[in-house]
Amino acid sequence: MLRLVTSSAAPDSTIRLERISLRRGGRDVLDGLDLSIPRHGITAIMGPNGAGKSLALRVMANLVRPDTGAVIHGLTDPQDIALVFQKPVLLRRTVRANLRHALAIYGVPRRERRERLGELLDFGRLAAIADSPARALSGGEQQRVAMVRALAARPRLLLLDEPTASLDPQATAAIEALIRGAAHSGATVVLVTHDRGQATRLADHIRFLHKGMLAEAAPADQFFLAPKSPEAQAYFDGKLLL
């Protein structure tokens, strides 16, 4: 059975972004953002373009350093956090070599790599394309490789930046299955998505951002039944949020 996350699984406490501000191009792209992510389940971050969703994700992943504020997740090992991008960047190698490279980067002992590699290929249903050049694959297959590569780290916090944008329903279903698998294994999953349907299918919690600030935080079922914030209401009513 493939183990996707470390034994201690999710982070020990709620992940918190406290008063995060970031100014880019003369604009406050994150404006005193306060955000808490429950340690269990899948949290979807939603909001219009430019709300700061992807940037918040990058701040959580320590890829972007905010001007002010703090990120508190208690994860000290960089490999506890994995990030999957909207457009996967795979290495100029085969699928197998991409995963082998990831296992090496994650410090998996050489003697264990073969077994782990086989598990990952099976889990991602990638065995049939294992020896194909990764960059020659379809968008859906490439994203599946990127997901499995992220899971190879056995992350405690899995960050997903619109992983199914521009994928067809079949490819989307395959990615969503992997996301559910990671969450069931105990990882904290944070998913940035524009897709209300996807958030409904996957998310346990919703965080709605607008103009770099938190507009609403609620359990998913409650949020989709009746969003409380005017921004979320307007967004789902199809109104333009300016």
Partner 1 sequence: MNGFGDAFAAAFALIVGFDADLVEIVGLSLRVTLSATLFACLLGFPLGAVLAVGRFRGRGALTVFVNALMGLPPVVVGLIVYMMLSRTGPFGTLGLLYTPTAMIIAQTILVTPIVAALARQTVADLDAEYYETLHSMGARAGARMRTLLWDGRFALMTAALAGMGRALAEVGAVMIVGGNIDHVTRVMTTAIALETSRGELALALGLGIVLMALSLALNALVMGARLSGARLAHA
Binding site for partner 1 (CB under 8 A): 58, 61, 63, 77-79, 81-83, 85, 89, 91-93, 101-102, 104-106, 133-136, 149, 153
Whether the Cβ atoms of residue 8 and residue 156 lie closer than 8 Å to each other: yes
- Identity (one letter) of the amino acid at 219? P
Q: Cβ 76 to partner 1, closest distance in Å?
A: 11
Residue nearer to partner 1 on the CB measure, 63 or 128: 63
Residue nearer to partner 1 on the CB measure, 41 or 133: 133
Alpha carbon distance 100, 121 (integer Å) = 11
Q: Cβ 212 to partner 1, closest distance in Å?
A: 20
**DSSP character at residue 59:** H
Task: Determine how many CB atoms are found less than 10 A away from the CB of residue 242.
Answer: 6
Residue nearer to partner 1 on the CB measure, 89 or 240: 89
CA distances 67 to 151, 202, 234, Å, are 30, 32, 30
Question: Could you tell me what percentage of the chain is helix, strand and coil, using 3-state DSSP and rounding each to the nearest 5?
Answer: 40, 25, 40
Q: Cβ 165 to partner 1, closest distance in Å?
A: 16
Q: Cβ 80 to partner 1, closest distance in Å?
A: 9
Residue nearer to partner 1 on the CB measure, 42 or 145: 145
